[in-house]
């Protein structure tokens, strides 16, 4: 049977109603499942996939494109294993609360967990199963060599914490910020822009952020097809921290010493905040200037808002998560281009925002083996390829080998029935360490994040200078980290 073309499903879009397929979708109520008081029975069978047939697993996830695709496809998992899977989808903050309560209870209402790298993996690493355990079990499908199949950066950021040895999650969601732009307008006005600006305006990491600023101003002053040259996700929200971080890292700034290691592997004690460094101050001042020429509504937009504005033809370009490509291609077919973000004085930094799926450490021995079967299946090559091309597809593969398949390579050019793959050249570059941007993976990150975007918002509102905002943020972050470090000891 040929799968129909993928629907446009944005990474952060809230799922409404029940998705078709083998999974029951719930909004957060009490679910039945493999008992946490009495372990599930292992069946005597020669088929390693069916040794836990009859079990029911509960999976709690953020509302993401991979989970919508998995839910629509889950009947295949039930047919393969005899295991039924219930999927609860929540907004991220509600998911974090559910996971925290479940881990603290000593029970496992949810055996499979969506492990956001910063709000689940880092603070609750000790409550997750080291997946080397089930992967090393010869009675189960899959082995530890599976870990080498994933994009290396994603495996480290989404799957590991601290020492880099334990594998606590498998890469599942790999949202990455890139430069999205009106390819048709850049082509139409290329020669005129080049003559006026004195440089080739073609988007990519060969451009600088200062040149991006000048391109935005040029569109503001010269083009009627769009209202503004650039738009940003600068609402007082996590999105503001993400948008700013691209500029911070490009200027050589970091949130903490050895920031790339802390972003890739994580740390409990990351050291003193470095947002008062010269590089960070320069980045903050530039970001303030950039927002002064952006669409004024940027200060009300998160990633969904700026994505909608871009798709509606309001702005000529924006930094945004690559998985918005499906929406772009539906609204502006053939008119959008994708590239790595501009470079600052140090590098082109493209924020990585991926997450993994993990097994609750409270599960009983056989129950966690059943959960491993789901993780193994959900991240398998066959399942990821179906999710990319299926009716509810659009999820981006996390296995390196999928990008080498002829049909996937061909889909990176128009016409394509895999619109997200139009971003593949940009995101694959962004997943190289020299182009990546990684926020700190620390247990206290949620509080630090709030302090950062709150002070940045004050700066953009004119209530603080860029220097004052960075100094105030530094003091707040140091207090938060110090408090968390003392509690951890």
Give the pLDDT of the chain (489 residues) as one tens digit per residue. 333 323 332 333 222 222 333 454 444 444 544 444 689 999 999 999 999 999 999 999 998 888 988 999 999 999 999 999 999 999 988 999 999 999 999 989 999 999 999 999 999 999 999 999 999 999 999 889 999 999 999 999 999 999 778 999 999 999 999 999 999 999 999 999 999 999 999 999 999 999 999 999 999 999 999 999 999 999 999 999 999 999 999 999 999 999 999 999 999 999 999 999 999 999 999 999 999 999 999 999 999 999 999 999 999 999 999 999 999 999 999 999 999 999 999 999 999 999 999 999 999 999 999 999 999 999 999 999 988 877 666 679 999 999 999 999 999 999 998 999 999 999 999 999 999 999 999 999 999 999 999 999 999 999 999 999 999 999 999 999 998 654 455
- CB 74 within 8 Å of CB 45: no
Is the dihedral angle over the CA atoms 165, 175, 383, 84 positive or is it negative?
positive
Tokens linked to 231:
């738009």
Distance CA 295, CA 231 (A): 5
pTM: 0.90
Provide the pLDDT for residue 393.
Answer: 60
Residues linked to residue 85 through DSSP beta bridges, in sequence order = 23, 57
Q: What is the pLDDT of residue 308?
A: 97
Q: What is the per-residue pLDDT for 364?
A: 94
pLDDT at 24: 46
Structural domains in the chain, CATH included, are: 23-175+353-404 (3.40.190.10), 177-351+442-488 (3.40.190.10)
pLDDT of residue 484: 66
For residue 15, what pLDDT is reported? 27
Q: How high is the pLDDT of residue 300? A: 98
Predicted local distance difference test score (pLDDT) of residue 163: 79
Phi, psi torsion values for 85, nearest 5 degrees: -125, 120
Compute the radius of gyration of the chain from its Cα atoms: 22
Beta strands in 174-294 (DSSP E): 177-182, 228-230
Helix (H, G, I), strand (E, B) or coil at 108: coil
Query: What is the pLDDT, as a whole number, of residue 485?
Result: 55
* Structure-block tokens of residue 48: 């390693």
Please state, in angstroms and rounded to a whole number, the distance separating the CA atoms of residues 83 and 183. 47
- pLDDT for the residue numbered 8: 32
* Distances in whole angstroms, Cα of residue 382 to Cα of each of 19, 79, 376, 377, 425: 21, 15, 11, 8, 22
Q: How are beta strands 23-26 and 315-321 bridged, if at all? A: unpaired
Task: Provide the pLDDT for residue 318.
Answer: 98
To 10 degrees, the CA torsion angle through 219, 225, 227, 233? -80
């Amino acid at each position: 049977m040929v799968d129909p073309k993928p629907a446009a499903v944005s990474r952060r879009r809230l799922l409404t109603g029940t998705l078709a397929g083998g999974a029951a979708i719930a909004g957060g109520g009490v679910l039945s499942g493999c008992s946490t008081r009495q372990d599930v029975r292992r069946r005597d069978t020669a088929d390693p996939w069916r040794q836990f047939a009859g079990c029911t697993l509960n999976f709690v996830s953020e509302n993401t494109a991979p989970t919508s695709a998995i839910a629509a496809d889950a009947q295949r998992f039930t047919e393969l294993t005899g295991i039924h899977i219930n999927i609860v989808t929540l907004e991220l903050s509600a998911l974090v609360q559910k996971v925290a309560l479940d881990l603290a209870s000593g029970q496992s209402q949810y055996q499979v967990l969506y492990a956001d790298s910063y709000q689940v993996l880092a603070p609750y690493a000790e409550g997750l199963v080291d997946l080397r355990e089930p992967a090393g079990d010869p009675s189960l499908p899959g082995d530890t060599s599976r870990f080498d199949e994933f994009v290396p950066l994603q495996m480290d950021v989404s799957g590991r914490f601290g020492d880099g040895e334990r594998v606590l999650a498998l890469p599942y969601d790999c949202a990455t910020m890139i430069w999205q732009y009106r390819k048709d307008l850049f082509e139409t006005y290329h020669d005129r822009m080049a003559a006026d600006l004195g440089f080739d305006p073609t988007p990519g990491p060969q451009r600088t952020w200062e040149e991006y600023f000048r391109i935005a101003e040029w569109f503001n002053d010269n083009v009627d097809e769009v209202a503004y040259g650039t738009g940003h996700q600068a609402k007082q929200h996590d999105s503001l921290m993400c948008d700013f971080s691209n500029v911070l890292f490009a200027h050589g700034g970091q949130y903490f010493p050895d920031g790339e290691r802390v972003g890739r592997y994580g740390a409990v004690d990351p050291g003193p905040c470095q947002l008062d460094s010269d590089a960070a101050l320069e980045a903050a001042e530039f970001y303030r200037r950039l927002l002064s020429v952006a669409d004024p509504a940027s200060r009300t937009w998160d990633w969904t808002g700026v994505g909608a504005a871009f798709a509606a033809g309001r702005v000529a370009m924006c930094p945004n998560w690559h998985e918005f490509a499906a929406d772009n291609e539906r609204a502006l077919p053939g008119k959008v281009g994708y590239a790595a973000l501009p470079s600052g004085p140090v590098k082109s930094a493209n924020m990585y925002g991926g997450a993994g799926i993990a097994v609750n450490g409270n599960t009983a021995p056989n129950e966690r083996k059943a959960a491993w079967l789901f993780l193994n299946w959900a991240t398998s090559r066959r399942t990821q390829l179906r999710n990319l091309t299926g009716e509810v597809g659009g999820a981006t593969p996390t296995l390196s080998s999928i990008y080498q398949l002829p049909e996937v390579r061909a889909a990176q050019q128009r016409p394509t029935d895999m619109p997200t793959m139009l971003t593949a050249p940009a995101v694959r570059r962004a997943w190289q360490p020299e182009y990546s941007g990684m926020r700190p993976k620390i247990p206290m990150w949620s509080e630090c994040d709030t302090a950062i975007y709150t002070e940045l918002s004050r700066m953009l509102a004119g209530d603080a200078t860029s220097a004052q905002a960075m100094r105030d943020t530094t003091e707040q972050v140091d207090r938060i980290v110090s408090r968390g470090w003392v509690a951890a000891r």
